[in-house]
């Protein structure tokens, strides 16, 4: 082979190598960061070997072998170029995906509802989203030249410095709290902050993420609520004082009333004792009168006078019995009329010598408490009627029954005195009789504002209707 051919082979080899280098530069293969593919190395070896054989004149080798070596070199160069193109395309696809992901993250970063800023350990802000600027009152300004500490009010700086500095120094991973930030234009704004660190592989903080959530509305609501609570607490305290004063006054009044009640109870007790003593003395005085009448009747030989004195005794006894029942009763204002009638009938039967086996007496008058103003007139009325029955209804040892019944009905009490004796003759007008007893019965009934009726069937029956309000 001539020298010209050798030169041509050298130029050809250098040209191929140059094209390879230029292709690598044009297609950006060097940016991939990978070593030159083995294809170019092998192609270079084949080209260099064929060129070396040609130069030393190894004519014993067939030309076809040289052509095959050079053709293989060209193929390897083509394959290498294809590999470069494939790697570059893959790289471009990866970069496109990274750009799209970065755009997505950036859009999310800018459109989030809270303010986010990233700053370095020296406090310089490296980037922030739109909401961060809006919260701090400077949506169009670039805050990257501003230190994070310049945005915090002095008072809040003192309160939160220790916690935030611990995150910046790497002593803790995060810090949160309510903080007052200064706006570029406008009043300070309350934010809920969350500060966290992004650490390098060796563990030291590389940069920090600050999240701001505007809580001004919540703070204003809390202040309004606090003001309302203060007002309510003041009203409650005032009301409590009023209630305390009222309670003190009430306790004082209760004490005074209790003291007055104690004095009243003492006075009532003394009054009850005095009333019992009065009733007891009245009863004793009446008993003296009864004894005098008894002695007078015993010494009197005139039957009519003796009878009159005996009747007087029974009348005084009926009154004395009322006073006796009153001072023996726990209620000084009234007496049990049924118990009174039982004692009255027993005394009258003894006085007139009536045999209980011959004359059977029944008293039915429950739940009829009578005051002294009613008991004495009713006692005298019962005394007269029972005395008349015992003296005149059962002559010559006749047997019979005497009953006294009483009950309340509406605003009245009805009392019936009945016997099955000989009865009052029809010829006697009992309303205008000269009998002192019947005259006394009618007079006392009018005094009680009641009514009296007589029935002569099967003996004698007197029916009384006495107004409760007037008679009790």
Q: What is the pLDDT of residues 165-214, one digit of tens each?
A: 888 888 888 898 888 887 767 788 888 888 898 888 888 888 888 898 88
pLDDT tens for residues 383-414?
A: 888 888 888 888 888 899 999 998 888 888 89
* Structural domains of the chain ordered from first start: 3-109 (no CATH), 114-214 (3.30.450.20), 333-471 (3.30.565.10)
Give CA–CA dist 174/176, Å, rounded: 7
pLDDT category at 14 given cuts 50, 70, 90 is: low
pLDDT score recorded for residue 392: 86
Measure the CA–CA gap between 349 and 396, rounded to whole angstroms: 16
- Percentage of residues of the chain with pLDDT beyond 70: 80
What token pair was written down for 378? Answer: 């009713």
**370 strand-pairing partners:** 335
* HSE-up (13 A, CA, CB side) for residue 265: 6
- The encoded tokens of residue 344 equal 């009255």
Better-predicted residue by pLDDT, 87 or 327: 87
CA atoms within 13 Å, Cβ hemisphere of 215: 15
The predicted model gives 253-282 an average pLDDT of 73
Listed range (147-156, 270-279, 387-396) with the worst mean pLDDT: 270-279
- CB-CB neighbours of 378 under 10 Å: 28
* Sheet with 205-214, side-by-side order of all strands: 125-128, 115-119, 205-214, 189-199, 174-181
- State the pLDDT confidence band at 20, using cuts at 50, 70 and 90: low
Q: What pLDDT, on the 0 to 100 scale, is given for residue 326?
A: 64
**Band of pLDDT at residue 5, cut at 50, 70 and 90:** very low
pLDDT at 25: 45
| Sequential DSSP letters for 206-250 | EEEEEEEEE-HHHHHHHHHHHHHHHHHHHHHHHHHHHHHHHHHHH
pTM: 0.44
Spatial CA neighbour of 209 closest among 324, 78, 308, 121: 121
Tokens 């306790």 -> residue: 251
pLDDT beyond 80 at 328: no
- Which has the minimum average pLDDT: 6-10, 76-80, 141-145? 6-10
Q: How far apart, in whole angstroms, are the C-alpha atoms of residue 129 and residue 108?
A: 9
The burial of 114, by beta-carbon neighbours within 10 Å (0-12 exposed, 13-18 middle, 19 or more buried), is given as middle
CA distances from 412 to 310, 339, 441, 442, 447 (A): 33, 20, 18, 18, 15
Residue 26 — pLDDT band, cuts 50, 70, 90?
very low
> In this model, does residue 463 exceed pLDDT 90?
yes
78: confidence class by pLDDT, cuts 50, 70, 90: confident
Q: What is the mean pLDDT of the chain?
A: 78
Instruction: Give me the pLDDT at residue 402, please.
Output: 92
Of 266, 311, 270, residue with least CA distance to 293 = 311
The pLDDT, as a whole number, for residue 234 is: 87
Q: What is the pLDDT of residue 452?
A: 93
pLDDT(250) > 80: yes
d(CA 378, CA 452): 12
For residue 465, the model assigns a pLDDT of: 92
- Judged by average pLDDT, the poorest of 74-78, 162-166, 435-439 is 74-78
Q: Can you give the pLDDT at residue 177? A: 86
């Amino acid at each position: 082979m001539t020298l010209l051919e050798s030169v041509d082979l050298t130029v050809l080899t250098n040209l191929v190598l140059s094209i390879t280098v230029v292709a690598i530069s044009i297609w950006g293969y060097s940016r991939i960061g990978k070593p030159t593919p083995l294809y170019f190395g092998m192609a270079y070896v084949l080209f260099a070997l064929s060129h070396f054989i040609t130069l030393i004149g190894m004519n014993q080798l067939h030309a076809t072998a040289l052509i095959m070596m050079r053709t293989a070199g060209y193929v390897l160069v083509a394959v290498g170029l294809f590999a470069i193109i494939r790697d570059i395309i893959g790289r471009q696809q990866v970069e496109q995906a990274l750009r799209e992901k970065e755009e997505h993250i950036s859009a999310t970063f800018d459109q989030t509802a809270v303010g986010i800023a990233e700053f370095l350990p020296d406090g310089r802000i490296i980037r922030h989203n739109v909401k961060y600027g809006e919260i701090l009152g400077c949506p169009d300004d670039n805050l990257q030249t501003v230190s994070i500490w310049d945005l915090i009010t002095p008072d809040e700086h003192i309160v939160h410095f220790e916690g935030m500095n611990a995150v910046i120094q790497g002593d803790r991973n995060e810090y949160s709290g309510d903080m007052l930030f200064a706006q570029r234009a406008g009043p300070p704004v309350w934010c809920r902050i969350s500060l966290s660190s992004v650490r390098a592989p060796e563990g030291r903080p590389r940069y920090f993420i600050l999240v701001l959530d505007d809580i001004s509305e919540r703070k204003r609501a809390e202040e309004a609520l606090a003001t309302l609570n203060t007002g309510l607490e003041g009203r409650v305290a005032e009301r409590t004082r009023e209630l305390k004063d009222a309670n003190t006054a009430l306790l004082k009044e209760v004490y005074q009333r209790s003291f007055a009640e104690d004095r009243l109870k003492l006075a009532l007790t003394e009054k009850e004792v005095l009333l019992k003593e009065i009733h007891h003395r009245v009863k004793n005085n009446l008993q003296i009168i009864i004894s005098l009448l008894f002695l007078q009747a015993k010494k009197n030989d005139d039957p009519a006078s003796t009878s009159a004195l005996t009747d007087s005794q029974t009348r005084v006894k009926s009154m004395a019995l009322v006073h006796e029942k009153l001072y023996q009763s726990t209620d000084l204002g009234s007496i049990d009329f049924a118990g009174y009638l039982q004692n009255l009938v027993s005394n009258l039967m003894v006085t007139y010598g009536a045999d209980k086996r011959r004359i059977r007496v029944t008293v039915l008058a429950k739940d009829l408490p009578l005051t002294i103003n009613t008991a004495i007139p009713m006692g005298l009325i019962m005394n007269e009627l029972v005395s008349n029955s015992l003296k005149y209804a059962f002559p010559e040892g006749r047997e019979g029954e005497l009953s006294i019944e009483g009950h309340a009905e509406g605003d009245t009490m009805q009392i019936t005195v009945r016997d099955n004796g000989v009865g009052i003759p029809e010829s006697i007008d009992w309303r205008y009789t000269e009998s002192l007893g019947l005259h006394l019965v009618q007079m006392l009934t009018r005094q009680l504002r009641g009514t009296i009726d007589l029935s002569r069937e099967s003996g004698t029956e007197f029916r009384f209707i006495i107004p409760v309000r007037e008679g009790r």
